[in-house]
Structures are given as C-alpha cells and as structure tokens.
C-alpha cells in the first residue's frame, strides 16, 4: 500500500502523480463495478438483453437465454476482479500474496480486454451497446491504460 495511505494521510497530501493514478483507478473501478452490476442484472433476468451481446440475442421479453445469462454472471465476476486489479495496481488496496510483476501484466491484460470489448461494442447493432457501453469502454481503455502505465513499480 502506498506510504501516504498507510500513514493515514489524505490522498491530497500524496505526490501529484500518485493522486492522478488514484483518481483514474477509482474512476475505472466505479465504471467496472457499474458494468458488473449490469451483467449481474442481466444474469438474473433483467429485460435489457437487447443492450448486450450484439443486441439480437434477447427473447421477445428482453431476457437473455440461459447460456448468455451464465455468460453475464461470469462477466460480472471478471469485471469485479478487473476493478480490484486496477485498484491494487494503483496501490489503493493491498496486493496480498500476488507479485508486482503479475499485477503489472494483469493491468495491461485488462487494457487489452477493454480494447477488444470496445471494438465489439462499437460494432454492435444495438444503439445502447454501441453508444453507451462503447463510450464507457473507450473511457475504461484510457483510465486503465493510464493506471497500467503510470502506477509506480511495487515492491
């Protein structure tokens, strides 16, 4: 954990570079958790299936078929883990037994995943998926990329 956090200092007293990484990490984590909640709701049967998986997979009631509901549940877990990795990479939460090298590569893997996700969202026939989720994942690419690139090396 960053020394200024361990000493109970506020993020305002941290070095400017660390503050910007922290802000980017928290913003990314909020967006990732928000999308995760959306995926959980899809998995539970929310009628918003037309806003996911290309827009054409939902039934007439808007609910996703069973297989895609399971996929949404898995996606929710992956997005939650991604939020945690970004917060750890920014040194906002303890990394536990994970090596700094693993976290470094995990953060860049998340950036790559978000790039692919953005391309998929932007090519969707669903207007909501294309504009709302596509725009959100563009922002996530930038935020996660900033954290992956600018976060200090961890010991």
Contact 129, 51 (CB under 8 A): yes
Tell me: the pLDDT tens digits for 82-125? Answer: 999 999 999 999 988 889 999 999 999 999 999 999 999 999 99
* Burial grade of 101 (CB within 10 A; 0-12, 13-18, 19 or more): exposed
pLDDT (tens digit per residue) in 40-56? 999 999 999 989 998 88
Contact 53, 68 (CB under 8 A): yes
Question: What is the reported pLDDT for 86?
Answer: 97
**Whole-model pTM?**
0.87
How far is Cα 36 from Cα 25, in angstroms, rounded to an integer? 16
Rounded CA separation 135/34 (Å): 14
Residue 40 has what pLDDT? 98
Q: Where are the domains of the chain?
A: 15-150
């Amino acid at each position: 954990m960053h020394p200024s956090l361990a000493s109970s200092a506020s993020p305002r007293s941290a070095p400017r570079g660390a503050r910007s990484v922290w802000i980017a990490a928290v913003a990314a984590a909020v967006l990732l958790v928000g999308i995760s909640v959306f995926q959980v709701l899809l998995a539970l049967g929310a009628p918003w299936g037309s806003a996911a998986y290309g827009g054409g997979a939902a039934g007439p009631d808007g609910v996703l078929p069973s297989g895609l509901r399971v996929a949404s549940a898995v996606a929710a877990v992956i997005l939650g883990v991604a939020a945690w990795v970004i917060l750890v990479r920014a040194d906002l939460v303890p990394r536990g037994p994970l090596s700094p090298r693993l976290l470094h590569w995990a953060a860049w893997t998340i950036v790559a995943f978000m790039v692919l996700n953005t391309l998929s969202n932007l090519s969707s026939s669903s207007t909501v998926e294309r504009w709302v989720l596509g725009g959100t994942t563009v922002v996530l690419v930038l935020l996660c990329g900033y954290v992956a690139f600018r976060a200090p090396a961890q010991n």
